[in-house]
């Protein structure tokens, strides 16, 4: 773990370098081979007639940027949730926040024929907000705070509930089955940059606001009495943090569907690297989350060409061992 300010800054810079490498790889590698010269020309002198440049600009660039934004959003949402619940297993995927957003998005898409992310975003917010309230209500033991195992179980139950309703809607609308399946599994492809552009500021705003909450989040780890004694309005901070989780996770789901485990893995990596200070942890998680999702997306493209693995599957396969490791630890202490 990097402790001093300068080593932490170096660690963060290293993370940015890795993210830049992932960005480069995500633009370079895929079914159609492109050269570095093509990449350079597509940025400085874009020629839509050239196939390689067209692929880079219209196909790879949108998904790379979406992966970056969604990865950063989910990772920071995970950090916030782990701070809020003091539970190392918390993440938007495991606690059912993503499933809640997905359910209302599927309702909007299949029953009302909504497709534009700008319309679906409000449904996604409503869904993730609903799930967050339910999970908090069910996981909270009066007088004893939030029980880690109970929150996880509540999340599992809510995920099962929302997913079974979504599946029912899917089976009723078999015509749109394939596109919807890809959504349930999570995907950053198949969206134009114009369609998601209005949502990217939401993620950026959420990230900046979360960073501003960093100092207060550090204090949330202490006992409630201590925090109040230090002059912090605990309820207000919790509410704001919860709102940020809803904004970040809801926007991510409205853009890319269910991508699990990013919000679980990344905070742990970032904490291992940068320590527990949220003023460092949040930017670190954003950078690493973006890098992870861009890398996973590149991997998802290369694994079984010409088909693609849903990116949510790649992240789940990476995240499951970590979850199992953490579950062994949590089960031990409780």
Partner 1 sequence: MSKTLVLRGPADRWSVRIQPAVLWVCLGLAGLLCLSALVSLSLGTYPTTVPQIIQALSGSEDLSGIRLILLEIRLPRILMAILAGGALGLAGLLLQGLVQNPLASPDVVGITSGASAAAVFTLWITGSAGGTPLLVPAAIGGALVVTVLLVMLSWRGGVSPTRLVLIGVGLAAGLSAVTTLILVVSPDATAMSAYIWLTGSLYAARWNDVFGLAPVVMGGLAVAIAVARHLDLHALGTDLALALGSSVNRQRLVHLLLAVLLAGGAVAYAGALGFIGLLAPHMARRIIRTGHVGLTVISALLGCLILLWADLAGRVMFIPRDLPAGLFVAGVGAPFFVFLLYRLRRQS
Site residues (CB under 8 A) for partner 1? 89, 94, 134, 137-138, 140-142, 144, 149-150, 152-154, 156-158, 160-161, 164-165, 167-168, 171-172, 174, 177-178, 181-182, 184-185, 260-261, 304, 307-310, 312-313, 316-317, 319-320, 323-324, 327-328, 330-332, 334
Nearer to partner 1, 185 or 293 (CB): 185
Q: Least separation, in Å, of the C-beta of 160 and partner 1?
A: 5
If the CB atoms of residues 173 and 218 are measured against partner 1, the closer one turns out to be: 173
Query: Nearest distance from residue 100's CB to partner 1, in Å?
Result: 12
Cβ proximity to partner 1, 183 vs 280, nearer residue: 183
Residue 181 or 222 having the CB closest to partner 1: 181
Torsion, Cα 43 44 50 55, to 10 degrees, reads 0
Least CB distance to partner 1 at residue 329 (A): 9
Distance CA 117, CA 101 (A): 12
Residue 88 CB: number of other CB atoms within 10 A? 17
Pairwise CA distance, residues 309 & 121, whole Å = 25
Give the residue ranges of DSSP H helices in 173-277: 177-185, 193-196, 200-212, 214-220, 224-229, 234-256, 262-274
- Provide, rounded to whole angstroms, the least separation between the CB of residue 77 and partner 1: 17
Whose Cβ is closer to partner 1: residue 34's or residue 253's?
253
Query: CB-wise, 65 or 249, nearer to partner 1?
Result: 249
Pick the closer one to partner 1 by CB: 206 or 267.
267
DSSP assignment, residue 2?
-
Find the distance separating the first CA and the last CA of the chain, reported in whole Å.
27
CB 279 within 8 A of CB 91: no
User: Residue 24, Cβ neighbours under 10 Å: how many?
Assistant: 15
Burial of 243 (0-12, 13-18, 19+ CB in 10 A): middle
Q: Give the H/E segment covering residue 141.
A: strand 140-141
Task: Supply the minimum distance, in Å, between the C-beta of residue 137 and partner 1.
Answer: 8
Give the C-alpha separation, 154 to 194, whole Å.
Answer: 37
As beta bridge partners, residue 145 has 141
Smallest distance from the beta carbon of 291 to partner 1, in angstroms? 21
Least distance from C-beta 289 to partner 1, angstroms? 18
CA nearest neighbour of 92 among 291, 286, 264: 264
């Amino acid at each position: 773990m990097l402790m001093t300010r300068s080593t932490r800054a170096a660690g963060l810079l290293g993370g940015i370098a890795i993210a830049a490498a992932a960005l480069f790889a995500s633009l370079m590698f895929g079914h159609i081979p492109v050269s570095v010269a093509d990449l350079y020309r597509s940025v400085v002198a874009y020629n839509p007639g050239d196939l390689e440049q067209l692929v880079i600009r219209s196909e790879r660039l949108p998904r790379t940027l979406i992966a970056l934004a969604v990865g950063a959003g989910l990772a920071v949402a995970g950090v916030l949730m782990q701070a809020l619940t003091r539970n190392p297993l918390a993440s938007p995927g495991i606690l059912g926040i993503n499933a809640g957003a997905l359910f209302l998005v599927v309702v909007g898409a299949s029953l009302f024929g909504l497709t534009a992310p700008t319309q679906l975003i409000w449904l996604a917010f409503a869904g993730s907000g609903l799930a967050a309230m339910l999970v908090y209500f069910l996981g909270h033991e009066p007088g004893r705070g939030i029980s880690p195992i109970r929150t996880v179980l509540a999340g599992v139950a809510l995920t099962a509930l929302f997913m079974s309703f979504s599946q029912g809607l899917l089976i009723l609308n078999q015509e749109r089955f394939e596109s919807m399946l890809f959504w349930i599994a999570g995907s950053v492809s198949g969206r134009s940059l114009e369609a998601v552009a209005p949502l990217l500021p939401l993620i950026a705003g959420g990230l900046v606001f979360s960073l501003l909450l960093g100092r207060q989040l550090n204090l949330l780890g202490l006992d409630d009495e201590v925090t109040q004694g230090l002059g912090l309005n605990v309820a207000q901070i919790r509410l704001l943090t919860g709102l940020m989780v809803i904004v970040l996770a809801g926007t991510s789901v409205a853009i890319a569907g269910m991508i699990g485990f990013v919000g679980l893995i990344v905070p742990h990596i970032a904490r291992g690297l940068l320590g527990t200070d949220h003023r460092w942890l949040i930017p670190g998680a954003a950078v690493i989350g973006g890098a992870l999702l861009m890398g996973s997306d590149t991997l998802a493209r290369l694994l079984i060409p010409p088909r693609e693995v849903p990116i949510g599957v790649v992240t789940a396969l990476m995240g499951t061992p970590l979850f199992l490791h953490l579950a062994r630890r949590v089960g031990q202490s409780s």
